[in-house]
Amino acid sequence: MTRVVETLPQRAARGFYSLAWYAGAPLAAAYLLWRSIRQPAYRRGWASRFGLAWPPASRPGRPVWIHAVSVGETMAARPLVEGLLAARPGQRVLLSHMTPTGWETGERLFGDRVERCLLPYDMPHAVSAFLRHYDPVAGVLMETELWPNLVAAADVRGMPLALVNARLSPRSLAKARRILPLVAPALARLGPVIAQTEGDAARLAELGSEASVAGNLKFDVHPDPALVERGRAWRPVPPRPVVLAASTRDGEEAMLLDAWPRTEALLAIVPRHPQRFEEVARLMAARFGTGLVRRSGLGEGDDGAGQAFATRLASAGTLGLLGDSMGEMPAYYAMADVAILGGSLAPFGGQNLIEACALGVPVVLGPHTFNFAEAAEQAIEAGAALRVADAAQAVATALEIAGDAPRRARMGERALAFAGAHRGASERILARLLPLVDAAA
């Protein structure tokens, strides 16, 4: 990390930013209360969110702190955490999150091998208290988490703070330029900055950051074999085509249901956010009536019912499946013949297509993939994915692929090859981080 002296305009910008956080604190509390109505897990850790208290340390020593805001970042951090624990046995690792689903994912992936906490909002007193309490030897921010006061507090302590798996879309670059007095000193304080792609590195350079490129950590995430086996046990028996709409966002389900024809194929929809499960259930029930099956009706982790579930999904009377569970995306991909990528039909920027490719599932992309622009274009070029203009084309194309076994097999093989060719980011990132950790320890 480079010690940075802010200019007067930069200090003023961060001062106004801090005042905005303090003024907005009651609104943040109201938001947490509102979210907790549908997701009671949002009642956890309010004291931590506002910088008032954290759990005591569960083991001695200064931790390496990794911040992974939610599910996607936590999954991406998995090979990094596993590599760190393998390379430095006994090293204390602290994983912080901003969402309950991120916390739950970290708990499922790592158990008690790592500590977990909620990162406070970016108020000066709160982030300083967080760093005093845990006293990390070094910190690692995942992907796009750039909090000016947090980075400044780390700088004051002389704590190394890296940004890894960094991505910056053209849209995010335009936004960052509008608040450059906040962004520029925060980026300057980070070291190293390790980007996913050359395009991300070039855009970060436009903001004054020198970034190296290591690839995308998500290529190094291997699907849980138990979940893959679970999903394969769910495949309809006797067989029928399964189209998966994966990690859908607000408004996309209605578009897909409107475009879905009368067909023997099964439509499985897995919403991105659990608070929308009931909303999507109502939409699917209005379209499919009693032909809707919910994953929650199977029971948590009830693998023994897999054969009965598969038989039910094979029934001509079952028209749709709602994937209303968390942490089972590999299972949903394993049961599918083709996946329509959520977040890409409406302007949300798309979700992660790498997980589907890693399981050899052909992918249909909508027009909006700016969050994963380079990976999307590379997957299309590799023959693992196809881009369409809208939901109607997505449904038609997915059904064509699902019904054409040779084409589906070719795309699946290309998807596996594409995913395999881009692995190795975790080793390259760890090669940069381990000396940093060792020097600061």
Q: Percent of the chain scored above 70 by pLDDT? A: 98
What angle do helix axes 198-206 and 170-178 make, rounded to 10 degrees? Answer: 10
Please report which confidence band the pLDDT of residue 56 belongs to, taking 50, 70 and 90 as the band edges: confident
Q: Are residues 243 and 97 in the same domain?
A: no
118 has a pLDDT exceeding 50: yes
Pick from 141, 95, 88: nearest CA to 115: 95
Tens digit of each residue's pLDDT (9 = 90 or more) over 284-312: 999 999 999 999 887 655 454 677 888 88
DSSP 8-class letter at 295: G
Do 311 and 363 lie in one domain? The reply is: yes
Q: What percent of the chain has pLDDT over 90?
A: 84
220: in domain: no
- 31 and 154 part of one domain: yes
Whether 354 and 436 map to the same domain: the answer is: no
Residue 3 domain-assigned? no
Q: Is the pLDDT of residue 369 over 80?
A: yes
Query: Is position 73 annotated as part of the catalytic site?
Result: yes
Kindly state the average pLDDT of the residues 376-388: 97
Rounded Cα distance, 273 and 282, in Å: 15
Tell how far CA 217 is from the center of its chain. Answer: 11
CA 423 to chain centroid:
18
Is the same domain home to 230 and 307?
Answer: yes
Same domain, 171 and 26: yes
- Measured between alpha carbons, how far is 194 from 425 in angstroms, rounded to an integer? 10
CA 426 to chain centre: 16
Whether residues 170 and 300 share a domain: the answer is no
How many C-beta atoms lie closer than 10 Å to residue 62's C-beta? 18
For residue 326, name the pLDDT band (cuts at 50, 70, 90).
Answer: confident
Count helices and strands in the chain by DSSP H and E runs: 19, 14
Predicted confidence at residue 304, as pLDDT, reads 46
Distant-in-sequence, close-in-space partners of 152: CB < 8 Å, separation ≥ 6 = 14, 185, 186, 189
With bands split at pLDDT 50, 70 and 90, how would you rate the model's confidence at 62? very high
Nearest residue to 363 via CA among 245, 265, 258, 280? 245
- What are 126-151's pLDDT values in tens digits? 999 999 999 999 999 999 889 999 99
Q: Could you tell me if 315 and 381 lie in one domain?
A: yes
pTM over 0.85: yes
Q: What is the pLDDT of residue 299?
A: 60
pLDDT score at 307: 77
Q: Angle at CA 434, nearest 5°, toward 430 and 439?
A: 160
Average pLDDT over residues 304-331: 86
| Greater model confidence, 430 or 371 | 430
- State whether 268 and 414 are in the same domain: yes
What three-state secondary structure class fits 323? Answer: coil
Distance CA 50, CA 57 (A): 19
DSSP 169-223: -HHHHHHHHHTHHHHHHHHHT-S-EEESSHHHHHHHHHTT--EEE---GGGGPPP
| The total number of structural domains that make up the chain | 2
Q: Are 24 and 122 members of one domain?
A: yes
CATH code of the domain in which 357 resides? 3.40.50.2000
The mean pLDDT value for 151-161 works out to: 95
Is-contact 121 52, C-beta < 8 A?
no
Determine the average pLDDT of the residues in 331-358: 96
140 and 64 both lie in a single domain: yes
Q: What is the CATH number of the domain that holds 108?
A: 3.40.50.11720
Three-class DSSP category at 235: coil
Which tokens sit at 198?
Answer: 């050359």
Report the distance separating Cα 242 and Cα 339, nearest Å.
Answer: 9
Cα separation, 343 vs 351, in Å, equals 6
Query: Closest Cα partner for 132 from 114, 162, 154?
Result: 154
Q: Is residue 406 part of a domain?
A: yes
**Does 1 map to a domain?**
no
Q: Which domain holds residue 353?
A: 225-421
Same-domain check for residues 338 and 369? yes
